[in-house]
Structure 1
Amino acid sequence: MASRAVDIIDTAPAFTQADVDALNARFDGVATDVWLPELLGELHGRVAAVSSFGTESAVLLHLVAGIDKAVPVIFVNTQKIFGETLAYRDELAEKLGLLDLREYRPNPRILAEKDATSLRWSYDPDGCCDIRKVEPLRRALAGFDAWISGRKGFQTGRGGLPKFELDEGRLKINPLADWDKDRISAHFVAAELPPHPLEAQGYPSIGCVPCTSKVLPGEDPRAGRWRGWDKNECGIHVPAEDPVF
């Protein structure tokens, strides 16, 4: 492997696709508990974790906290979040000993201009996500070269998810890319992680209140997200083509 591709410390301030390809090759077949501590050590001070504090978020946060509790954890509060999610965030932060939990909210000026009625979700969910989630996250990540995502390959539309991706010049790290649902569930039990309080009420995937509904038996776990819309992502995991903010 070329030394430049492996020595990511010298790859600043941005990553290239060549760097990402090299990391995917370098850690191909390597267990998460082996490569994640190694990589976080190399990226110390340059990486943040991003969490929605949803039903499966505790696993990623437990892995990161077990390596370094001081890794910044970014939470985007869209101001349409379930109260149960906010309480769960606080419970997990306390249990895992997170030392740097950062909350970001939508820009009030943009909200006033683009969503004065607070109803944009009802006629333009993509635009609502741009304003309330994508733009705040972009601000939150401004000082970092890499970020850690909780995406899993088994989720709808995410088959073949790589461990590493390029995202606006940053390295996006997917530690759970090759984890299946059974492994996620087993980790919850082994680590004695508390479940999200809404999961038992029929919400296996949780986002904002207006765009999250209960999932019926036999439905895809993400069927309750943006039900009735041709949409299955909030926008932070897809390239921004024409943001409204």
Structure 2
Amino acid sequence: MASYGHLEGATLLHAMARDVFPGRIALVSSFGAESAVLLALAAEADPSFPVIFVNTGKLFGETLRYRDQLVKRLGLTDVRTVGPTADDIAAGDRDGMLFNSNPDACCHIRKTVPLDRALSGLDAWVTGRKRFQSSTRAALPLFEEADGRIKVNPLALWDRERIDEEFERRGLPRHPLEADGFLSIGCFTCTSRVAPGADPRSGRWAGTDKTECGIHIHRIGNV
């Protein structure tokens, strides 16, 4: 993968989809804050670039409407919405309140398990994580290996200013909840407003030591 380390943006995504992992890569997006930039790069590389969206059943209505807005605006043609099955919920979160007692288990049932199923048969996937988002992502590489797949992080080195510039340059709409102080947006049960100047992800699982939903928990290593 080192030979592709000089590429970025749509050029990198095009190379991953055409040359390195043809038919075996997808972009995973929350359609949350900042998601529009990576989705726009994917659409520029190829409008049919597969996009996986996990609907946990606990998302803000604003996120679902934002997803529909971006899909139409960017012309994305292969957005795959996945989520927990009825059996998943019946087995582990029958009353829908697991987030109160065990948020890790809730994330596992509603996000990690559905994503694992969606990634089956793929050799790589693309994330929108960035180093500036939190201290736990400060050493994030462009490429990493986890669970037998390659994860591509095209925006790892981008700072907030560059993200903002790309929104402006492309005329991309912002997630409607950003204006109300939500800078990292997940499920409505576990997402809070962020204090001015605070870590953008401090509003996720506020008041706990939880920092990730579970799909990115592994030892970070360069490829």
Which interval holds the TM-score relative to the shorter structure? Answer: over 0.9
2:86 to 108, 114, 119: 108
1:218 and 1:148 mapped to 2: Cα distance? 28
Q: RMSD of the TM alignment (CA)?
A: 1.4
Among all aligned residue pairs of Structure 1 and Structure 2, give the percentage whose two residues are the same amino acid: 53
1:65 and 1:110 mapped to 2: Cα distance? 32
- Runs of 4 or more, structure 1, over 4 Å off, are none
1:178 and 1:229 mapped to 2: Cα distance? 27
The answer on 1:183 being equivalent to 2:156 is no
1:1-245 counterparts in 2 under 5 A?
23=1, 25-42=2-19, 43-156=21-134, 157-239=136-218
1:187 and 1:154 mapped to 2: Cα distance? 16
Rg larger in 1 or in 2?
1
TM-score, scaled to structure 1: 0.85
Pair 1:29–1:44, CA change in 2 (3 A): closer
1:33 and 1:71 mapped to 2: Cα distance? 11
Q: Give secondary structure in 2 for the equivalent of 1:161.
A: coil
| 2:53 and 2:82 in contact (8 A); partners too | yes
Q: What is the CA-CA distance between 1:33 and the residue it aligns to?
A: 4.4
1:131-189 Cα shifts (integer Å, max 9, x gaps) = 00000000011121111111111111101211111121111111111111111110000
Q: Give secondary structure in 1 for the equivalent of 2:52.
A: strand
1:185-206 Cα shifts (integer Å, max 9, x gaps) = 1000001100000000110110
| 2:47 and 2:75 in contact (8 A); partners too | yes
| 2:82 and 2:118 in contact (8 A); partners too | yes
* Number of aligned residue pairs: 217
